[in-house]
A and B are shown apart, each in its own frame.
Chain A
């Protein structure tokens, strides 16, 4: 099973749908909108000062990017709440391409740092060099980092890991680190629920929406089980947070 729905990352067909041609990337910077789920969301449309992004009155439409109108300013990169917009530029060098991405982790890297460039699922792809870090006010708290990567990987590298700083949090809500999750698996946890009960990973605000696949992957790496055979945690209502008042409804007792 491939694609965002099953793995949380774009599949081959989905990439084909969103990635620009090499002709376009060689011409200069261009936005790459990796948005393939018809979710009700449209901040990118307003973010573009050149009118290159269109969603229209039906808010669940996928954004359409006009590759000629896009000037590669990158303003949309920090405006996408799903962190799904990147900027790719293959025009500056023979060997390297620049990839601009939103980065909502701390600490931030420093310019000229060599970091681990990782793909859409967090797997290591290639070493990358930090060339720019934008934390200006117009970014509204989302840092935008530009990496230089070998051209062959410009459509693969979508985030990075700072190698010197070690600890990675798999569950951001409860701040459970990758090593804690690995330890839980080594102590016998074989399902996402078993990891949860040992570490609290997935008990926070997002209820595991972010971390359950990552935890499944760690279990898979540690045990050799196929990710498809690892039981997901139990889903329980509500689907998203709801106030107690709304849950209680209007009148007491029916």
Chain B
């Protein structure tokens, strides 16, 4: 039996590493376990949107606003270049119906204090000239931004390590140790580890850890397939989503399942990374833990991208990849202590918002540690 620590964090993605950093900063003794490697799962297979206007007004948007504010100074705080770019973002509407949906959402967001406006296509194209002329327009938010998710996880993990945290990749949490009804450690492939608190930041794999105790966490893997292009000169000024993304996210009942694009949950999400390549996504599919890309998926994403940004037709795609987003039924992450298992603190289920919400999640979850 190894000697105890204050907190064990299970999962080395953006969420787990953020919790590790803020906990270590608060003076806790921290051990982070990942059975693979830092950012080897979902955090290494996603885009880097910090997008506010995709969040529902309420706690979701409030957390996102706080998180976005933290990102502005995070590279300096972690002493690590997160490739943060305050580029602003747009959500593109193709039709009147979509514009109406955006208008409803925007009104509530404006009331909640978000600076977001709906631009007809002519004005939208002044900001983003490559948008197709026959679109309806786009919602624009100047506070949207982007970051490199892999570097976020690495930046948090290295900064946590400097504060004394132990970052142990290749160590698998095989089960929880529960004594007198309280979680007090983790069984691993390298022996047992004791701690006052265990944080479950295992993303799509989070349910595995608590399933033996009869707890059925409502987190399901949802696959997103993304295309990567060759490095290009500056083409896009903003991170771009389309209204289909919001429909697939918040109103799946409005999807037309006879349409392949809708069936695969394709909603455009395009960004140009610091290295010049475009990340063009994405599908939203429930296919278990299958991380392959499919021809149908990448074809549907490519078609949709060409529809919204016709100038992309000639860019070259060099790779496709997919990641598993931790989906929850209400679109909100599961954060905080789990009543059924005292000592266990949840930090999982962010689906497509993990990057945007990582800093605030890390900070809030660290506050729960005793």
A residues in contact (CB < 8 Å) with B:
174, 188-191, 193-194, 197-198, 200, 203-205, 207, 234, 236-238, 241-245, 247-249, 252-254
Q: Which residue of B lies closest to A242 (CB)?
A: B317
Question: Which residues B302-350 have CB closer than 8 A to chain A?
Answer: 302-303, 305-307, 312-321
Residue from A189, A204, A236, A245 within 8 A of B37 (CB atoms): A189
Q: Is the CB of B229 within 8 A of A190?
A: no
Other A-B contacts than A204-B231, A243-B316, 5 sampled, CB-CB below 8 A, are A188-B37, A197-B44, A242-B317, A244-B306, A248-B299
CB contacts (< 8 Å) of B170 on chain A: these are 188, 190
Q: Is the CB of B227 within 8 A of A236?
A: no
Residue from B38, B300, B312, B314 within 8 A of A253 (CB atoms): B300
Task: Give Cα distance in the complex from A248 to B316, angstroms.
Answer: 12
Q: Is the CB of A253 within 8 A of B261?
A: yes
CB contacts (< 8 Å) of B295 on chain A: these are 237
Known: A198-B154, A244-B229, A244-B313. A237 touches B275 (CB 8 A): no
B residues in contact (CB < 8 Å) with A:
37-40, 44, 150, 154, 169-170, 227, 229-231, 259-261, 275, 280, 293, 295, 298-300, 302-303, 305-307, 312-321
CB contacts (< 8 Å) of B315 on chain A: these are 243-244
Q: Could you show 20 A-B contacts with beta carbons less than 8 Å apart?
A: A174-B275, A188-B170, A197-B38, A197-B150, A205-B318, A207-B319, A236-B293, A236-B321, A238-B317, A243-B313, A243-B317, A244-B229, A244-B305, A245-B302, A245-B306, A247-B302, A248-B303, A248-B305, A253-B259, A253-B261
Q: Is the CB of B37 within 8 A of A252?
A: no
Task: Give Cα distance in the complex from A111 to B150, angstroms.
Answer: 45
Going nearest first, the 6 A-B pairs with the smallest beta carbon separation are: A248-B302, A245-B313, A241-B316, A247-B302, A248-B303, A248-B306
Q: Which residue of B lies closest to A249 (CB)?
A: B299
Q: Is the CB of A244 within 8 A of B227?
A: yes
Q: Is the CB of B320 within 8 A of A238?
A: yes
Task: Give Cα distance in the complex from A60 to B98, angstroms.
Answer: 53
Residue from B230, B260, B298, B321 within 8 A of A241 (CB atoms): B230
Report the minimum CB–CB distance from A177 to chain B (whole Å).
Answer: 16
Q: Is the CB of B230 within 8 A of A197?
A: no
Residue from A189, A198, A207, A248 within 8 A of B318 (CB atoms): A207
Q: Which residue of B lies closest to A193 (CB)?
A: B40
CB contacts (< 8 Å) of A204 on chain B: these are 231, 318
Q: Is the CB of B299 within 8 A of A247?
A: yes
Known: A237-B298, A249-B303, A252-B303. A205 touches B230 (CB 8 A): yes
CB contacts (< 8 Å) of A234 on chain B: these are 321
Task: Give Cα distance in the complex from A238 to B298, angstroms.
Answer: 10
Residue from A190, A191, A203, A244 within 8 A of B317 (CB atoms): A244
CB contacts (< 8 Å) of A247 on chain B: these are 227, 298-299, 302, 317
Task: Give Cα distance in the complex from A243 to B230, angstroms.
Answer: 10
Q: Which residue of A lies closest to B168 (CB)?
A: A188
Known: A237-B293, A248-B299, A253-B260. A188 touches B169 (CB 8 A): yes
Report the minimum CB–CB distance from B290 to chain A (whole Å).
Answer: 13
Q: Is the CB of B300 within 8 A of A197?
A: no
Known: A207-B318, A207-B319, A253-B261. A244 touches B302 (CB 8 A): yes
Task: Give Cα distance in the complex from A216 to B302, angstroms.
Answer: 33
Among A198, A244, A249: residue with most chain B CB under 10 A: A244
CB contacts (< 8 Å) of B320 on chain A: these are 236-238
Q: Is the CB of B39 within 8 A of A197?
A: yes
CB contacts (< 8 Å) of B306 on chain A: these are 244-245, 248
Q: Is the CB of B40 within 8 A of A194?
A: yes
Q: Is the CB of A205 within 8 A of B231?
A: yes
Q: Which residue of A lies closest to B311 (CB)?
A: A244
CB contacts (< 8 Å) of B40 on chain A: these are 193-194, 197
Among B38, B154, B303, B320: residue with most chain A CB under 10 A: B303
CB contacts (< 8 Å) of A203 on chain B: these are 275
Report the minimum CB–CB distance from A239 to chain B (whole Å).
Answer: 10
Known: A188-B169, A248-B302, A253-B261. A242 touches B37 (CB 8 A): no
Task: Give Cα distance in the complex from A243 to B306, angstroms.
Answer: 11
CB contacts (< 8 Å) of A241 on chain B: these are 230, 316-318
Task: Give Cα distance in the complex from A11 to B313, angstroms.
Answer: 43
Task: Give Cα distance in the complex from A194 to B44, angstroms.
Answer: 11
CB contacts (< 8 Å) of A198 on chain B: these are 154
Among B169, B229, B312, B316: residue with most chain A CB under 10 A: B316
Report the minimum CB–CB distance from A252 to chain B (whole Å).
Answer: 5
CB contacts (< 8 Å) of B169 on chain A: these are 188
Task: Give Cα distance in the complex from A247 to B225, angstroms.
Answer: 14
CB contacts (< 8 Å) of B312 on chain A: these are 244
Report the minimum CB–CB distance from A173 to chain B (whole Å).
Answer: 9
Task: Give Cα distance in the complex from A52 to B131, angstroms.
Answer: 55
Report the minimum CB–CB distance from A82 to chain B (whole Å).
Answer: 20
CB contacts (< 8 Å) of B319 on chain A: these are 207, 236, 238
Q: Which residue of A lies closest to B295 (CB)?
A: A237
Q: Is the CB of A197 within 8 A of B313?
A: no
Task: Give Cα distance in the complex from A247 to B317, angstroms.
Answer: 8
Task: Give Cα distance in the complex from A253 to B301, angstroms.
Answer: 10
Report the minimum CB–CB distance from A209 to chain B (whole Å).
Answer: 11
Task: Give Cα distance in the complex from A236 to B275, angstroms.
Answer: 20
Task: Give Cα distance in the complex from A249 to B230, angstroms.
Answer: 19
Q: Which residue of B lies closest to A200 (CB)?
A: B275
